[in-house]
Structure 1
Amino acid sequence: MDPFINRPKHNLAAWQLKANRRPFVVGNAPYTSPPPNHVVVQVIDVAINPIDWILQEDDIFGLKYPAILGSDIAGEIVEVGEGVQDLHAGQRVIAHCNGTSKNNHTHGAFQRFTIVPSHAVAELPYSINTSRAVVLPLGISTAAAGLFQRDYLHLPLPTENPEVSDRTVIVWGGSSSVGSCAIQLARASGLRVIATASPRNFEYCCKLGASECFDYHDSDVEDQIVTALKGKTVAGAYHAVGADGAVQSCARIVERTKGKAVVVTVRGVPEKGIPASVRVKAISSSAIFTNEVGEYIWRKFLPTALANGTIVPAPEPMVVGEELRSVQLGLDKQKAGVSAAKIVVTNIS
């Protein structure tokens, strides 16, 4: 076991000192031992999501300040809390941090040592580098929230050898971080997947498991997808990313096809343009940890799926810097836009 585990731990964080202020300020942070059913992870890599720069610019959650943002980490467990039986210090892991949903800076990602609920942690095989694996956490949870929860698409939970279904899921924005995870998880549920993306990302989406891809720029893309789905049963549509009007496009498609007229979206539900027969639901990634989906995905499915290649880290990491001082650069790069890639900052500890 690494002797570092028994040393005093000096924590640093990239602090959001006040609402609507940039840049982050790197400074000391307390080291806090884990409460029951939690672990402390020494962070090696973090990944950046759109919600990170959105929260820096707009206090949509009413956070307590100073705050520590961030959701995606890869690192090593250094301490486990009471009641944690299946994890131990020294394990390499990825984890979904929930500092913003808990409004507690000790749970934020952008620091050297962070507290994570044990049900939001997955062991990482040594065959996968931490800077690759760190692209997954929020994408996995967000995809799972829309695909598997009872009031959403409610697909069968994924397995290594799923029973093949005759149903099809539409993933709008398949090359995005969430879309990449949604394609893989839906395939691991046994469903067929069709996706939208830019043509340059068609091959990428197909490698992840999409059967067909369509260019969302095409003016007749809705007609193309409806034609491709003729005679097939639709399990619903997952809106992973897309400009204004994309949710409405998904809704019009499922209205015109056979099957479940449900659209789940990472954005809010539009006030206009949704057919009366279609139900649209907004996704909250943290909701999976209030029911059976979160623990199943993170503790039962994902560790094995990573080890055997059922789930691969996607999209590709785009490393923009090292250490906490580079996290602000990561937010700025993410805001500027990336395609089939996810911003990563390495060597946090």
Structure 2
Amino acid sequence: MSAFKNEAAWMMMKNAKELEVKEGPVPDPAAEEVVIKVAYAAVNPSDWRVQDQGFLNLPFPFILGNDVAGTVAQVGSEVTEFRVGQRVIGHCDGLISLDIKRNGFQLYSTCRERVVSAVPDSLPLANAVVLPSGVDTAATALYRDLELPLPSLNATPMEKTILIWGGASSCGSSAIQLAVASGLRVITTASKANFDYVKGLGASEAFDYRAPDVVDQLKAAMKEGDLVFDCISTPDTQIACAEVLSSIGGSFLPLVLKPEPGLPGNLDVQPVMGLAPAFTTSELSELANAWGPGGAPHVGTAVWHDFMPEALESGKFQAKPDPFVIKGGLSKVHEGINMLRDGVSARKVVIEIAGEA
């Protein structure tokens, strides 16, 4: 058992908007788990959607939070990649595993080793924490679903373009960079104010999603065999992406939300489960009724262990979007969730939990 005293921001019942800060679960890592002393935790859309929509059958009281950054406090008996005191980021899988120790809004959070990554000293933890959910969602879509080559620091260029709809979003920011690291040419949609931002991430062209003829512009910029990934997935963006994909003879459209009714029947339109890299195929098969089949543990290792540490160190992968940091500890988590619910652009809401020493 752990000697660490934990504290957490609890969602006490279904649809509760206020969170209660009190004693948290005792950290006790399994063989392949890492306990992280949380300096910063990022807020994601899943946090407010759980509150507002109650779309998951969670065992209340529950702890939310997917993304954490901090230092390693404990490691399981079979952990080989990390040591106590090391600066890391981690992706918490509690929304699937239903293990409250594996959630982010607490002082000590537990993550599976395969979705933990070292953070270079040159990168502040407040910036690094923006990455886990966005990277894993993008990686699942690009590598498991669209079967792109895994990312490399020296990618071989491919004669293929991918449209990332919503390049200034958290997922879009990661998807642009991963696709470039896989050798693809990337085009994306964004507001005109964010054109320089998405091009700075590696996009070759940016298109104003507000333009009335944006779909026609995108069709003209793409060819047969190119790919589309919708990182926004509102009803309007799904229709637009489906039209673009159909025009170039494509068949598979990954989304970050569930498909809307009425999309073309010739397309395979599937929501991306961003936590897939945390689980083995057999583990996900057991959850198939709720989450769909499949698994991508090799993606987790390839991205977080083989690619990301050196990519961050060398500057070939940027921790984007920039954080909007709310100070004040766990009592400020509800404020951060409310802010994201209201909407942010090219920023990610981050809560300072314990801060960086």
Same fold (TM over 0.5): yes
1:244 aligns with 2:235: yes
- Per the alignment, residue 291 of structure 2 pairs with none
2:4–2:27 contact (8 Å) kept in structure 1: no
- Per the alignment, residue 324 of structure 1 pairs with 330
Residue 59 of structure 1: how far off its partner (Å): 2.2
Match of 2:240, SS state, is helix
Deviations 1:153-201 (A, max 9, x none): 1111100001101100000000000000000000000000000011111
1:72-87, aligned counterparts within 5 Å? Answer: 72-87=67-82
1:157–1:189 contact (8 Å) kept in structure 2: yes
- Per the alignment, residue 105 of structure 2 pairs with 110
Residue 242 of structure 1: how far off its partner (Å): 4.6
- Per the alignment, residue 57 of structure 1 pairs with 52
CA distance in 1, matches of 2:163, 2:32: 36
- Per the alignment, residue 261 of structure 2 pairs with 271
1:1-349, aligned counterparts within 5 Å? Answer: 8-149=3-144, 152-229=145-222, 232-257=223-248, 260-272=250-262, 274-289=263-278, 290=280, 291=296, 292-348=298-354
2:31–2:78 contact (8 Å) kept in structure 1: yes
Deviations 1:199-248 (A, max 9, x none): 1111100000100111111121110111122xx45431110015322112
- RMSD over aligned Cα, in angstroms? 1.4
CA distance in 2, matches of 1:138, 1:88: 23
Q: Which 4+ runs in 1 deviate beyond 6 A?
A: none
1:323–1:345 contact (8 Å) kept in structure 2: yes
Residue 308 of structure 1: how far off its partner (Å): 1.2
CA distance in 2, matches of 1:36, 1:209: 38
Match of 2:16, SS state, is coil
Letter in 1 for 2:248: T
Match of 1:15, SS state, is strand
Letter in 1 for 2:46: I
Structure 2: runs of 5 or more not aligned: 281-295
CA distance in 2, matches of 1:109, 1:336: 21
- Per the alignment, residue 3 of structure 1 pairs with none
Identity %: 37
1:46–1:348 contact (8 Å) kept in structure 2: no
CA distance in 1, matches of 2:142, 2:275: 14
Using the size of structure 1 for normalisation, the TM-score is 0.93
1:41–1:78 contact (8 Å) kept in structure 2: yes
Letter in 2 for 1:336: D
2:63–2:104 contact (8 Å) kept in structure 1: yes
CA distance in 1, matches of 2:353, 2:254: 36
CA distance in 2, matches of 1:221, 1:135: 29
Letter in 2 for 1:107: R
Residue 276 of structure 1: how far off its partner (Å): 3.5
Letter in 2 for 1:313: A
1:19–1:58 contact (8 Å) kept in structure 2: no
Match of 1:164, SS state, is coil
2:143–2:299 contact (8 Å) kept in structure 1: yes
Letter in 2 for 1:288: P
Deviations 1:76-106 (A, max 9, x none): 0011001111211110000101111111111
Using the size of structure 2 for normalisation, the TM-score is 0.91
